[in-house]
Amino acid sequence: MNHRIAVTDGLAKEAILYLRKEEYVVDEVSFTKDEINKGSLLDYDAVIIRSATKLDKKAIEANSGGKLKVICRAGVGVDNIDINAATNNGIMVVNAPSSTTKSVAELTLGHLLSCTRHIPKGDRMLRDGIWAKKELRGSELFGKNLGLIGYGRIARNVSNLAIAFGMNIHAFDPYLPNEMFGGITKHETIEDLFSNCTHISVHCNLTEDTRNLVGEKLIDLMPKLGADGSNCGRYLVSLSRGGIVNESELFNCLNNGKLTCAGLDVFETEPVLKNNLLNSDNFIGTPHIAASTVEAQIRVGLESANQIINSLNGEVPTNLINKEILD
Amino acid sequence: MNHRIAVTDGLAKEAILYLRKEEYVVDEVSFTKDEINKGSLLDYDAVIIRSATKLDKKAIEANSGGKLKVICRAGVGVDNIDINAATNNGIMVVNAPSSTTKSVAELTLGHLLSCTRHIPKGDRMLRDGIWAKKELRGSELFGKNLGLIGYGRIARNVSNLAIAFGMNIHAFDPYLPNEMFGGITKHETIEDLFSNCTHISVHCNLTEDTRNLVGEKLIDLMPKLGADGSNCGRYLVSLSRGGIVNESELFNCLNNGKLTCAGLDVFETEPVLKNNLLNSDNFIGTPHIAASTVEAQIRVGLESANQIINSLNGEVPTNLINKEILD
């Protein structure tokens, strides 16, 4: 009998067609929390979720003991899955981490350029009938120091793009071995990173160590002038996870001029409906769309499909999160 | 006696200090059209202007026969100077064309990324209390064909940046010899360029040949899919001169979906106070700020200062516009 796969939060149609061509039965379904807690996934060999479906301990226990062998997160973050519960119930957890890298890196440069050149502000003022040519003098990325908090896959991709703009790359990542910092400047402390960089981009995970990590105390350390001696201003962007940047301190730094402009794609509370930052003229917000491109979503779908296929074929999937399950 | 220089539209203070250190007398002055027409520049050896001061035939004739030997445009475009009149009156015209290249190229990428990722629209919707995560799915620059109209200094700089993003560069420039198109795809007609590119950036001068050059007929030729097969949409940006893109046809193409998004830094009529395009949700406008960065303005100032110094020393300045004057 063919394997059955539940897709609960949508998936690129290219990936669904691919799985069906490989003779999997794919059901695009929508379950309430209650239905999941009553075992609606018991009859599926695999489930592909995004962020909407929450698989906590209760949900996982309710769906174990049946056919369910693998949970796939079509994306990167697995914070909506209780990994321990999955491991304890013999269910593999996989994700699709590399598919979205390019999209996130491109939007990071988009946010940086939007900040340094006041693009949304200029557009907003034009729509309000104001030709603010003089007020909107910007600065170049060229010749400046870009500080990356975290130097994982996405940060390294951002680094490659920023180098093309003539930026000097600095990074702080206490979890990476020295040989991963080839060609860029590694800093031993985050204070040292901020002390050297007029431009900062956040690329770490949200953990208890990184919650509220970035605030006024670090921003205070940023240099007054660019590495090229120019009066370029100071900029901060984050497209990683909400909660790493302290939003109320960010708001203060935008208002007191310690930061020239800041861009966030991620927020402490999402969706954002009300947020003080949106009253700041020098803030740029986007609604968590860093991975939201047609190309990334097709790649995520196909990468997820291949993870499922490998798992159900009895192979060890390359993106297995709970490796303890193999012990 | 020391040479005297009039600065009529402002100049970076770094350049003024430099000229004074070289023992020039620099007057930051402001003259009305009437004062200029009565010869207010007769007692200066050189004048440095931006775009505000208009030196038409009448103005130039009124200021010739005295000390004035050189007019410097601190910037690129010399459309506010009657070059023939200057030549006929033995006055050199120089400019500072290379100083702003990086700034313009960076903002071009800023506009492209703002278009493909809906940055100003996302920011605007957030400020309106709308979390439009699903509506704002974007597309990557990676793997797409970028078509450059004109392949001069700025376009080649844009090309270098876009290559880092993984774009394939196409260009149309009937005035350049073949050897200038190394490593990119040259097109013999502008129709051929549009037929191959989902992303277009305008980098030519405004002339009688290029006025209203870009309109619906060309946009109609753009491919339905990206060069990588993805449904990425179609994009147009211009940071060159207003009037090359036909604005009413652009408005139509944004409304009928032929273009996904478009960005303009330059307009038929500037300053823009009212313009239909500003009613389009998929339009991004900035108020002619492509060269407006602290770095570019310092470079423009120093480049202008050096042009003046060379001219007044009796050398042939590198950026001499009216070379006929040497005959």
Choose, from B50, B199, B288, B299, the residue flagged as catalytic: B288
Instruction: Answer yes or no: do A136 and B102 touch at CB < 8 A.
Output: no
A313-327 pLDDT tens trace: 999 999 999 999 998
Q: Which two tokens stand for residue B115?
A: 């278009």
Residue A1 in this model has a pLDDT that exceeds 80: no
Residue B88 in this model has a pLDDT that exceeds 90: yes
Q: Which residues of B touch A297 (CB under 8 A)?
A: 137
Residue A301 in this model has a pLDDT that exceeds 90: yes
Choose, from A35, A191, A270, A295, the residue flagged as catalytic: A270
In this predicted structure, what is the pLDDT of residue B252?
Answer: 98
Q: Which residues of B touch A144 (CB under 8 A)?
A: none
Q: Which of A156, A292, A297, A300 to mutate to test the interface with B (most CBs of B within 10 A)?
A: A292
A50 part of the active site = no
Mean pLDDT of B252-256: 97
Radius of gyration (C-alpha) of chain B in whole angstroms: 22
Distance from CA of A165 to the nearest CA of B (A): 7
B234: nearest Cα among B216, B249, B219:
B219
Contacts of B35 (CB under 8 A, 6+ apart): none
Sheet arrangement for strand B261-264: B185-186, B168-172, B145-149, B199-202, B235-238, B261-264, B283-285
Q: Which two tokens stand for residue A6?
A: 């539940």
d(CA B110, CA B161): 11
Among candidates A136, A287, A294 on the partner chain, residue whose Cβ is nearest the Cβ of B289 = A136
Backbone angles phi, psi at A202, to 5 degrees: -90, 125
Instruction: Answer yes or no: do A287 and B122 touch at CB < 8 A.
Output: yes
- For residue A162, the Cα-to-chain-centroid distance in whole angstroms is 18
d(CA B14, CA B11): 8
B255-279 pLDDT tens trace: 999 999 999 999 999 999 889 999 9
Q: Which residues of A touch B294 (CB under 8 A)?
A: 137-139, 230-232
ipTM: 0.92
From the number of C-beta atoms within 10 Å of its C-beta (0-12, 13-18, 19+), residue A32 rates as exposed
A135-184 pLDDT tens trace: 999 999 999 999 999 999 999 999 999 999 999 999 999 999 999 998 89
Q: Specify the residue for token string 């196409």.
A: B170
Map chain A to HEC letters: CCCEEEECCCCCHHHHHHHHHCCCEEEECCCCHHHHHCCCCCCCCEEEECCCCCECHHHHHHCCCCCCCEEEECCCCCCCECHHHHHHCCCEEEECCCCCHHHHHHHHHHHHHHHHCCHHHHHHHHHCCCCCCCCCCECCCCCCEEEEECCCHHHHHHHHHHHHCCCEEEEECCCCCHHHHCCCEECCCHHHHHHHCCEEEECCCCCCCCCCCECHHHHCCCCCCCCCCCCCCCEEEECCCCCCECHHHHHHHHHCCCCCEEEECCCCCCCCCCCHHHHCCCEEECCCCCCCEHHHHHHHHHHHHHHHHHHHCCCCCCCECCHHHHC
Longest dimension (CA), chain A: 70
In this prediction the pTM is 0.93
Mean pLDDT of B84-110: 97
Q: Specify the residue for token string 């009413």.
A: B248
B206-251 pLDDT tens trace: 999 999 999 999 999 999 999 999 999 999 999 999 999 999 999 9
From the number of C-beta atoms within 10 Å of its C-beta (0-12, 13-18, 19+), residue B178 rates as exposed
* Average model confidence (pLDDT) across chain B: 96
Element (H, E) at B92: strand B92-95
d(CA B235, CA B20): 47
From the number of C-beta atoms within 10 Å of its C-beta (0-12, 13-18, 19+), residue A326 rates as exposed
Distance from CA of A1 to the nearest CA of B (A): 34
Classify B93 as helix, strand or coil. Answer: strand
d(CA B59, CA A146): 48
Residue B26 in this model has a pLDDT that exceeds 90: yes
Distance from CA of B110 to the nearest CA of A (A): 5
Could you give all domains of chain A from N- to C-terminal order, each with its CATH number? 4-99+294-326 (3.40.50.720), 101-285 (3.40.50.720)
* Average model confidence (pLDDT) across chain A: 96
B310-322 pLDDT tens trace: 999 999 999 999 9
| Cis amide leading into B223 (omega within 30) | no
Instruction: Answer yes or no: do B294 and A231 touch at CB < 8 A.
Output: yes
β-bridge mates for residue A283, sequence order: A262
What percentage of chain B has pLDDT greater than the value 90? 95
Q: Which of A100, A108, A115, A140 to mutate to test the interface with B (most CBs of B within 10 A)?
A: A140
A124 part of the active site = no
A92-137 pLDDT tens trace: 999 999 999 999 999 999 999 999 999 999 999 999 999 999 899 9
Q: Specify the residue for token string 């990722």.
A: B117
Q: Which of B289, B298, B300 to mutate to test the interface with A (most CBs of A within 10 A)?
A: B289
A213-247 pLDDT tens trace: 999 999 999 999 999 999 999 999 999 999 999 99
Distance from CA of B10 to the nearest CA of A (A): 12
B165: nearest Cα among A101, A148, A286, A288:
A101
Instruction: Answer yes or no: do A270 and B131 touch at CB < 8 A.
Output: yes
Looking at chain A, which residue has its C-alpha nearest residue B115?
A110
Phi-psi region of A225 (alpha: psi -120 to 50; beta: other; left: phi over 0): beta
The answer to whether B227 and B143 have CB atoms below 8 angstroms apart is: yes
Q: Specify the residue for token string 């478009």.
A: B262
Residue B1 in this model has a pLDDT that exceeds 80: no
A165: nearest Cα among B254, B130, B70, B157:
B157
Q: Specify the residue for token string 């993870």.
A: A307
Contacts of A279 (CB under 8 A, 6+ apart): none
Classify B41 as helix, strand or coil. Answer: coil
What percentage of chain A has pLDDT greater than the value 90? 95
List the Cα angle A169/A174/A180 in 5-degree steps. Answer: 55
List the Cα angle A58/A61/A66 in 5-degree steps. Answer: 145
pLDDT-derived band at A79 (thresholds 50, 70, 90) equals confident
Instruction: Answer yes or no: do A119 and B119 touch at CB < 8 A.
Output: yes
Mean pLDDT of B19-47: 97
Residue A298 in this model has a pLDDT that exceeds 70: yes
B288 part of the active site = yes
Instruction: Answer yes or no: do A295 and B142 touch at CB < 8 A.
Output: yes
The answer to whether B241 and B92 have CB atoms below 8 angstroms apart is: no
Q: If you write DSSP's letter for every residue of B42-84 in order, what string do you get?
A: TT-SEEEE-SSS-B-HHHHHHT-SSS--EEEESSS--TTB-HH
pLDDT-derived band at A20 (thresholds 50, 70, 90) equals very high
CA dihedral A9, A15, A21, A27 (to 10 degrees): 0
d(CA A288, CA A51): 12
In total, chain A counts a number of residues equal to: 327
Mean pLDDT of B156-178: 97
